[in-house]
Amino acid sequence: MKSIDPTRCCIVGGGPAGMMLGLLLSRAGVEVIVLEKHGDFLRDFRGDTVHPSTLDVMADLGLLDRFLSRPHDEAHRLRAHISGQEVGLADFSRLSTRCKFIAMMPQWHFLDFLRDQAEQYAEFRLMLDTEATGLVERDGRVVGVEVSKAEGASRIACDLVVAADGRHSVLRGAAGLMVRDIGAPIDVLWMRLPKRPDDPDGSSGYIDTGHFMATIDRNTYWQCAYVIAKGGIAAIQARGIESFRKEVAAIVPPFADRVDQIASWDDVKLLSVTVDRLEKWWKPGLLCIGDAAHAMSPVGGVGINLAVQDAVATANLLRDVLVDPNESANAITALLPKVQERREFPAKVTQAAQVAVQNRLLAPVLQSGAGPGKRFAVPWILRMAQRFPILQGIPAYAVGIGVRPERVRR
């Protein structure tokens, strides 16, 4: 099998965790290869919320102004329509962060930006169209990655492999790491609908009896996330595409004039929601971060930002030992448990909050039966937040900053 030039660290997965870690390590002088199995970052149905905690990281790197010069929208507040009544959910203007908003930017633009910054360092190398297929182990330690490219299979030798290859991680499976399935009662159907010139700007959510849909403003079109009960896609498809169009029009009346753009089921993509977490995030020579370590629910759109926080913590803890060629592989492995110690608590708390929202809000909404004149009532806690707007700062902090936010150490 052909061998590719060895490197100090090989990161598998060109998502937010992998690209941010690649930038941070190469910036510190560590030789890094990032593997991305696709030829680019252009995946339509990925999260695109860059939260204040991530914007603080950009500020730490001196990249905030450059980042915000790229096309994006700013969400200073989150609102939803519940049974036709507009309610405020979160007010980011109450945060103490440098940026008091969520930057709405398609994820491919976010990843392109990280790549552009990382490629300024000679230590960084991005390999596209390169899929990791397995691990190379010797004497109980991971010493490299097996990869597949169009020209054939090869190997990359390295002192540390970081698995950032998402919720369906090939590497965590190859390593035999134990996964704890926390459960999710929902799936999500993603679709896009055109945006008209007279449409209001800003993302929102629509909740009514039996239905929940989020609408993400992407300037020229709406990216729509239609929440369904887990495993419910077959029943929806059995009712036919015309019935589905009517459901979408009923939950979001302003879109009734364009649901015919959902021409077939090919225009509807299923995201099977998974919430799980590794019992152990590492083994000698291997570390899992991001969704590979803890798959998040789309609730709150915090997955990108948890992944970035993992990358920052990993770079803070491992940078010095990785940049020093005299430090052994054993010295690297000795620090891997510290990454889990640092990031496991935030992952657990965030997943617990997501599961609570799924079980106490989303599942009851989807299970609520329709009846003559029956509407879904605004939960009491949201009624309180309308009466006392200061309360909207609490969910803003939970979503925008989260538990134990990381900052780049100088």
User: Strand 102-104 to strand 124-127: parallel, antiparallel, or no bridges (unpaired)?
Assistant: unpaired
Whether the CB-CB separation of 18 and 312 falls below 8 Å is answered with no
Tens digit of each residue's pLDDT (9 = 90 or more) over 6-64: 899 999 999 999 999 999 999 999 999 999 998 888 775 566 789 999 999 999 999 99
Mean pLDDT of the chain: 90
Q: What local confidence, expressed as pLDDT, does residue 86 receive?
A: 87
C-alpha dihedral over 147, 151, 152, 154, to 10 degrees? -50
Q: What local confidence, expressed as pLDDT, does residue 42 receive?
A: 74
Sign of CA dihedral 3, 115, 16, 29: positive
pLDDT exceeds 60 at position 373: no
Sign of CA dihedral 33, 172, 407, 128: positive
Compute CA distances 318 → 177, 313, 358, whole Å.
Answer: 21, 9, 35
Residue 169 token pair: 């991680």
DSSP states along 228-269: EETTTHHHHHHH-HHHHHHHHHHHSGGGTTTGGG--SGGG-E
Mean pLDDT of 89-103: 93
Nearest to 58 by CA among 282, 304, 238: 304
The full set of domain ranges for the chain reads: 2-70+101-181+275-359, 186-273+363-398
Q: What local confidence, expressed as pLDDT, does residue 126 receive?
A: 96
8-state DSSP, 3: E
Mean pLDDT of 74-93: 89
Q: What local confidence, expressed as pLDDT, does residue 61 receive?
A: 97
DSSP states along 20-49: HHHHHHHHTT--EEEE-SSSSS--SSS--E
Q: What local confidence, expressed as pLDDT, does residue 236 receive?
A: 92
Mean pLDDT of 204-210: 84
Tens digit of each residue's pLDDT (9 = 90 or more) over 264-315: 999 999 988 889 999 999 999 999 999 999 999 888 888 899 999 999 999 9
Q: How confident is the model at residue 371 (pLDDT cuts 50, 70, 90)?
A: very low
Separation between Cα atoms, residue 247 and residue 269, nearest integer Å: 16
Tens digit of each residue's pLDDT (9 = 90 or more) over 213-260: 988 887 788 989 999 988 889 999 999 999 999 999 988 998 999 999
Work out the percent of the chain whose per-residue pLDDT is above 70. Answer: 97
CATH architecture entry for 2-70+101-181+275-359: 3-Layer(bba) Sandwich (3.50)
Residue 312 token pair: 């920052």
User: Strand 131-138 to strand 141-149: parallel, antiparallel, or no bridges (unpaired)?
Assistant: antiparallel
Q: What local confidence, expressed as pLDDT, does residue 148 receive?
A: 92
Note the pTM of the prediction, 2 decimals: 0.92
Compute CA distances 249 → 49, 199, 254, whole Å.
Answer: 25, 15, 8
User: Strand 32-35 to strand 124-127: parallel, antiparallel, or no bridges (unpaired)?
Assistant: parallel
Domain 186-273+363-398 adopts which CATH fold?
D-Amino Acid Oxidase; Chain A, domain 2 (3.30.9)
Residue 303 token pair: 């997955």
Separation between Cα atoms, residue 21 and residue 160, nearest integer Å: 13
Tokens 């595409």 -> residue? 241
Q: What local confidence, expressed as pLDDT, does residue 26 receive?
A: 97
Please write down the HEC assignment for all residues of 337-395.
Answer: HHHHHHHHHHHHHHHHHHHHHHHHHHHHHHHCCCCCCCCCCCCHHHHHHHHCHHHHHHH
For the chain, how many residues are written? 410
User: Strand 152-163 to strand 286-288: parallel, antiparallel, or no bridges (unpaired)?
Assistant: parallel
Q: What local confidence, expressed as pLDDT, does residue 127 receive?
A: 96
Tens digit of each residue's pLDDT (9 = 90 or more) over 133-191: 999 999 999 999 999 988 888 999 999 999 999 988 999 999 999 999 998 888 899 99
